[in-house]
Structure 1
Amino acid sequence: MTGSLERSVVEELVRKSVLKRLGRYAPESSGAPNPLVVNISARHCHLRQDAVEVLFGAGRELTPMKWLYQEGQFAAEEVVTLIGPRSRVISNLRILGPCRDINQIEISFTDAISLGFEVPVRNSGDIAGTPGCMLMGPAGFLKMNEGVIRAAPHVHMAPEDAAYYGVENKSYMRLRIKGRTGLTFDRIMVRVDPSFKLEVHLDTDEANACGLGPETPCELIK
């Protein structure tokens, strides 16, 4: 019994140390089944396999460069250039894999201003009626008639996390960011799936507004 307790303590300390070194925050244990992780989601895009082949050549598949916190998700080596209104561009837009069944680009409010068009806040996958753009890759161009969004803040969690917090899939929570420039986000959409790890995604504007860093205390509130 003692040995088992000591092992669990060691595992918790190692988990916290790893998360901090990765730039994530792991709160003190409070009975929660999993540590809370809040990550900054920089601008990126998700593409269908046929779109990857248009941009990079027939038969081309995404090459994992860095594995992300969610199981099976990765930042690819492949990047594209986004061409917006009046030929304003964002270069080196990272593709995240694996491929999906829709083409979607996620940028911040600041990015949208720089590109010169209005981009709505949407949940991932909800792209109907959103602006489009042109993507340029080494093998060709891809015209998107829709799919550019500002991703709504959201939290991924497993069923045990949802039970602990008393929430359901597609419900909303609040995220309290503490610290000198702390603030509270009132609409954090909940996504529940057995494969998910407990992780909140904020974009770069949102993270900068509250001074989010590796040591910043954060709290999810129903």
Structure 2
Amino acid sequence: MGARPYSFTASQAVNRRDSEMVDRAVIEQMVRKSLQERFTGNSPVIIRPLSHNGGPNPLVVNVSARHVHVSQQDLEILFGPGSQLTKFKDLYQDGEFASEQVVNLIGPRNRLIPGIRILGPTRNYSQVELSYTDGVYMGIDLPLRTSGDHDGTPGCVLVGPHGALNMDRGVIRAERHVHMHQSDCDHYGVHDGDYMQLKIDGPCGVVFDRVLVRQHPKVKLEVHIDTDEGNACHLPSASRIELLK
């Protein structure tokens, strides 16, 4: 006898359809999670080694992942009229925070980095800070700049739930820098605008040149480096961190 043709009952067909829908939902959830893990590591990683040469204040290094700063006007373009940033997590500096709001970044190759977190509070300009690795992926030739220096910088498109923001400039790789109170400047013998070295001891120890000093009366001692730099020295394994004049 020949093989009997396989057939579905109506109930089996419904069950199979539901199963396929569940499988697809699971797959979509896995993809979203994978993208989120890859692209939204935007919470700062603060390293406090047991050994450092801080003076009146402890020396802290913050690995700053990709993020966005926005003006109030641009925030309302992205999230709607009257929108306000809502706090997700406090940052190390008093009054600064990672917000609940995230945006998608579209570059010149039409490549996408989803879910880039906005840091608050709002500023008088909008700016996107990426690592060189991000720039290579996106096809953006990133200039090395201090925050707010946007002359001749490339732009991008930011997409929020309410609208898209076409930035004609403001995409940078932030110059590594150290925030200092005047008491910290006195301890290290430096002034605002000077450059220092950051020496990191450990299994992947390095010395970073040209760490810009940024003095302000309301800040705490904190070094900012990006994810490329943090990965290069495997900062979590650091045994000692020093700022050198």
Shorter chain as normaliser: what TM range?
0.7 to 0.9
Aligned match of 1:86: 109
- Is 1:167 matched with 2:194? no
Provide, for residues 39-76 of structure 1, a one-character-per-residue CA deviation record: whole Å limited to 9, x for no partner. Answer: 10000010000000000000000001100000100000
Provide, for residues 151-187 of structure 1, a one-character-per-residue CA deviation record: whole Å limited to 9, x for no partner. Answer: 0100001000000000000111100011111110110
Matches of 1:146 and 1:171, distance apart in 2: 27
For 1:213, the aligned partner's letter is P
Instruction: Sort the Cα spacing of 1:66 and 1:134 in 2 relative to 1 into closer, same or farther, 3 A.
Output: same
For 2:244, the aligned partner's letter is I
- Is 1:143 matched with 2:156? no
TM-score normalized by the length of structure 1:
0.87
Instruction: Sort the Cα spacing of 1:31 and 1:53 in 2 relative to 1 into closer, same or farther, 3 A.
Output: closer
Task: Give ranges in structure 1 of 5+ residues lacking alignment.
Answer: 1-21
- Is 1:69 matched with 2:58? no
Aligned match of 2:72: 49
8 A Cα contact 1:23 1:214, kept in partner: no
Matches of 1:215 and 1:77, distance apart in 2: 31
Aligned match of 1:191: 214
TM-score normalized by the length of structure 2:
0.79
Matches of 2:244 and 2:177, distance apart in 1: 13
Aligned-residue Cα RMSD (Å) equals 1.4
Provide, for residues 59-94 of structure 1, a one-character-per-residue CA deviation record: whole Å limited to 9, x for no partner. Answer: 000001100000100000000001101211110000
Please report how far the alpha carbon of residue 28 of structure 1 lies from its aligned counterpart in structure 2 after TM superposition: 4.2
2:235 aligned to which of 205, 212, 215? 212
8 A Cα contact 1:175 1:186, kept in partner: yes
> Secondary structure at 1:213's aligned position in 2?
helix
> Secondary structure at 2:235's aligned position in 1?
coil
Determine what percentage of the aligned residue pairs are the same residue.
Answer: 53
Instruction: Sort the Cα spacing of 1:106 and 1:216 in 2 relative to 1 into closer, same or farther, 3 A.
Output: farther
8 A Cα contact 1:25 1:217, kept in partner: no
1:40 aligned to which of 51, 59, 63? 63
8 A Cα contact 2:49 2:239, kept in partner: no
1:133 aligned to which of 133, 156, 163? 156
For 1:116, the aligned partner's letter is G
Matches of 1:211 and 1:59, distance apart in 2: 42
- Is 1:110 matched with 2:110? no
Structure 1 runs of 4+ with >3 Å offset: 26-31
Aligned match of 2:142: 119
Aligned length: 201
8 A Cα contact 2:53 2:241, kept in partner: no
Instruction: Sort the Cα spacing of 1:171 and 1:23 in 2 relative to 1 into closer, same or farther, 3 A.
Output: closer
Matches of 2:119 and 2:132, distance apart in 1: 20
8 A Cα contact 1:23 1:213, kept in partner: no
Please report how far the alpha carbon of residue 23 of structure 1 lies from its aligned counterpart in structure 2 after TM superposition: 4.3
Provide, for residues 178-211 of structure 1, a one-character-per-residue CA deviation record: whole Å limited to 9, x for no partner. Answer: 1111110110000001111000001000010011
8 A Cα contact 2:202 2:238, kept in partner: no
Matches of 1:51 and 1:187, distance apart in 2: 32
Task: Give ranges in structure 2 of 5+ residues lacking alignment.
Answer: 1-44
Matches of 2:133 and 2:91, distance apart in 1: 24
